[in-house]
A and B are shown apart, each in its own frame.
Chain A
Amino acid sequence: MPHNAYESPSGRGAKNMDASIDKAYPDVQPPGRPVARLYARVALGLVGRAFALAQRLDPDVRRELADLPAGFAFALRVHPRGPSAALRMGADGKLRYVGFGPEAPEVLMRFQNMASALSVLTFSASAFEVYARNGLAVSGDLPATMAIIRALGLVETLLLPRFVVRRVLKRVPDIPFLRKHGVRVALYLSLPFAGPTKE
């Protein structure tokens, strides 16, 4: 019987291993964290959907991402098995949420473990601080990465109440009141119906 939900992909034991030794000293793997995993998956899914919607609804988000070429993909992912939320720029200039996304997107923001992912996704720490302390690794083209980070800040501002945004961003971006709340209502109304686009 497997001792947890995640058997190692390579299978247990090396060739020529003495069976009795393997029985007494089996491979040990840490247990899964299904609740944390589910939470991270739902939260990342929401961020992915909201990002795609915000790019259509908000001119500032659109402007930040205007330089991304068609086909460009970026992802927010928990190392090593996910969950993951990826977005891809379409030829029509529209950003689409594509679920887990490609193995190696153009820009990858990778939480080093579940703990650092949860601290950001539960808004108990700012993504900048987690990044500065190596809990979040970012790889990819720099100007594109910086633009995505700025856009992510705008998406959070559109999505979340001010007292939460104050905790996770260094400064709450100035978005005109009417636009912010208009976009927020539109986001909340469309989020439940937004699914990932199949790749």
Chain B
Amino acid sequence: MKRGEYFEFHNPVKILAGKSALDSLPNELERLGSKRPLLVTDKGVRAVGLLDTLLKAAGESSLVLGAVFDDVPPDSGTRTVAAAAKVYREKACDGIVAVGGGSVIDTAKAVNVLVTKGGDDLVAYSGAGAITGRLSPFLVVPTTAGTGSECTLVAVVRDDERARKLLFVSASLLPDAAILDPRMTLTLPPLVTAATGMDALTHAIEASICLGKNPLSDVYADTAIRLVSERLVHVVRNPSDTEARLDLAVASTMAGIAFSNSMVGLVHSLGHATGAVCHVPHGVAMNIFLPHALEYNLESRAAEIGRLLLPLAGPEAYHRTPEAGRPAAAIARVRELQDTLSGLAKLPRRLSETGKVGKEHHAAIARAAIDDASIAYNPAEATLADCLALLERAD
């Protein structure tokens, strides 16, 4: 950014992190004045016993959950939000605890809008800035280390009536607190760990090169990139290393703070489009498009991409590499990470490896990508033809 240029940075989310962070849940709810929160989660979280872990951690406290709503599907929509809001009202809840990944957290954000603002018409609140003021007490316990949704001002929910995605952007959606406890991510299988980790890395990298980047978001992005780069492969190899799991959870949250302030670009435009057209999981799409989009942005952001080599490869490799070679070395380091994760967890590196995307889908994906909000934040212009060419390279 040009020196002296105006920017904003906003992160009001209190972060509680550590091996016993969950034990602080009851106190946090007390601080926020919530006596009967609704717990929003999904069947998967419940099935692997994470709810029991949470309740055990909150033992000997005065915690009372008004209800547990565990019907959030992977691709949640307006009907789910309305159903959860109904439970909240019927059971006279006074706050929300979201326990889950991106879909659960986004659903809980939307539920919070309905139960605070009233009514059942979520569409009226969609778009940018339509939600104002304080919402009800809202706590998030992420069970993946990737989306960063616990610290972003965005929620995406499907409109079940019209089969389209509703985007909500408002600082009011930000939770009051996020609890990062490694016990919650310990059971993630290697493929999910790898994919969500690459999503977090993409958030931090795009935050570092996209148009909204600023000195404050840079700090969060830098540390997030370093932590993912140092820890992701290690965690895939040693899934039960709690300290390393916590590092990834912290990295994911920091990347969320970074991109909630500087936004994401082309990797996400293509990833959202590929998800919508071919149902490729978000993290997998991020992994596939990241190096290609970096190469695409190389011309307009060479210096910024070169600087990524420091958090990606460490100070020694950074200083060994002459300045002119750093951008290419940074992208090579991302590819190296990809290859390792492909070997360890079978994380696809190409569209064809997903088994879901054929060349016949490229046109529809490219068209959806240029209508995605994130493409405006990408440093280099990307037209329909550019997206098609990039899809071809990623095939």
Q: Given A139, A150, A170, which contacts B128 in the complex, CB threshold below 8 Å?
A: A139
B350-393: which residues lie under 8 A (CB-CB) from chain A? 370-373, 375-377, 379-381
Cβ–Cβ < 8 Å partners of A129 in chain B: 1, 5, 211
Q: Given B167, B370, B377, which contacts A132 in the complex, CB threshold below 8 Å?
A: B377
A-B contacts counted at CB < 8 A amount to 61
**A137:B129 contact, CB within 8 angstroms:** yes
* Cβ distance A105 to chain B, nearest Cβ, rounded Å: 12
A136-165: which residues lie under 8 A (CB-CB) from chain B? 137-140, 142-143, 145-147, 149-150
**Complex: chain A residue closest to B127, CB-CB:** A139
The size of the chain B interface, using a CB distance under 8 A, is 28
**B262:A170 contact, CB within 8 angstroms:** no
Contact with A along B107-129 (1 / 0, CB 8 A): 00000000000000000000111
**Complex: chain A residue closest to B385, CB-CB:** A174
Q: A133-B5, A133-B8, A146-B370 are in contact. Are A139 and B130 (CB under 8 A)?
A: yes
**B212:A147 contact, CB within 8 angstroms:** no
**B8:A171 contact, CB within 8 angstroms:** no
**Complex: chain B residue closest to A134, CB-CB:** B8
Q: A132-B262, A132-B376 are in contact. Are A170 and B300 (CB under 8 A)?
A: yes
Check: A135 CB closer than 8 A to any chain B CB. yes
Check: A131 CB closer than 8 A to any chain B CB. yes
Check: B263 CB closer than 8 A to any chain A CB. yes
Cβ–Cβ < 8 Å partners of A137 in chain B: 128-129
**B379:A170 contact, CB within 8 angstroms:** yes
**A142:B379 contact, CB within 8 angstroms:** no
Check: A128 CB closer than 8 A to any chain B CB. yes
* Cβ distance A150 to chain B, nearest Cβ, rounded Å: 8
Cβ–Cβ < 8 Å partners of B300 in chain A: 170
Check: B105 CB closer than 8 A to any chain A CB. no
The size of the chain A interface, using a CB distance under 8 A, is 24
| Complex Cα spacing A145 to B167, Å | 13
**B373:A139 contact, CB within 8 angstroms:** no
**Complex: chain A residue closest to B368, CB-CB:** A143
Check: B214 CB closer than 8 A to any chain A CB. yes
Cβ–Cβ < 8 Å partners of B167 in chain A: 142
B1-54: which residues lie under 8 A (CB-CB) from chain A? 1-2, 5-8
| Complex Cα spacing A175 to B370, Å | 19
**A133:B128 contact, CB within 8 angstroms:** no
**B371:A133 contact, CB within 8 angstroms:** no
| Complex Cα spacing A170 to B380, Å | 6
* Cβ distance B269 to chain A, nearest Cβ, rounded Å: 10
Cβ–Cβ < 8 Å partners of B263 in chain A: 132
**B8:A138 contact, CB within 8 angstroms:** no
**B6:A149 contact, CB within 8 angstroms:** no
Cβ–Cβ < 8 Å partners of B129 in chain A: 137, 139
**A133:B380 contact, CB within 8 angstroms:** no
Check: B210 CB closer than 8 A to any chain A CB. yes
Cβ–Cβ < 8 Å partners of A146 in chain B: 370-373, 375-376
Q: A138-B128, A142-B167 are in contact. Are A131 and B376 (CB under 8 A)?
A: yes
Q: Given A133, A139, A145, A147, which contacts B7 in the complex, CB threshold below 8 Å?
A: A133
| Complex Cα spacing A133 to B373, Å | 14
**B128:A132 contact, CB within 8 angstroms:** no
Q: A142-B167, A170-B300 are in contact. Are A133 and B381 (CB under 8 A)?
A: no
**B6:A133 contact, CB within 8 angstroms:** yes
| Complex Cα spacing A19 to B56, Å | 62
**Complex: chain B residue closest to A124, CB-CB:** B2
**Complex: chain B residue closest to A119, CB-CB:** B6
Check: A84 CB closer than 8 A to any chain B CB. no
Contact with B along A72-101 (1 / 0, CB 8 A): 000000000000000000000000000000
Residues of A at under 8 Å CB distance from B? 115-116, 125, 128-129, 131-135, 137-140, 142-143, 145-147, 149-150, 169-171
List 20 extra interface pairs beyond A138-B128, A142-B372, A147-B371, CB under 8 A: A115-B6, A128-B376, A131-B211, A132-B210, A132-B212, A132-B377, A133-B5, A133-B211, A134-B8, A135-B6, A139-B127, A139-B130, A140-B127, A142-B371, A142-B373, A146-B370, A146-B371, A146-B373, A149-B376, A150-B370
23 contacts between A and B (CB under 8 A): A128-B211, A128-B376, A129-B211, A131-B376, A132-B210, A132-B212, A132-B263, A132-B377, A133-B7, A134-B8, A137-B128, A137-B129, A139-B127, A139-B129, A142-B167, A146-B372, A146-B375, A146-B376, A147-B371, A149-B376, A150-B370, A169-B381, A170-B380
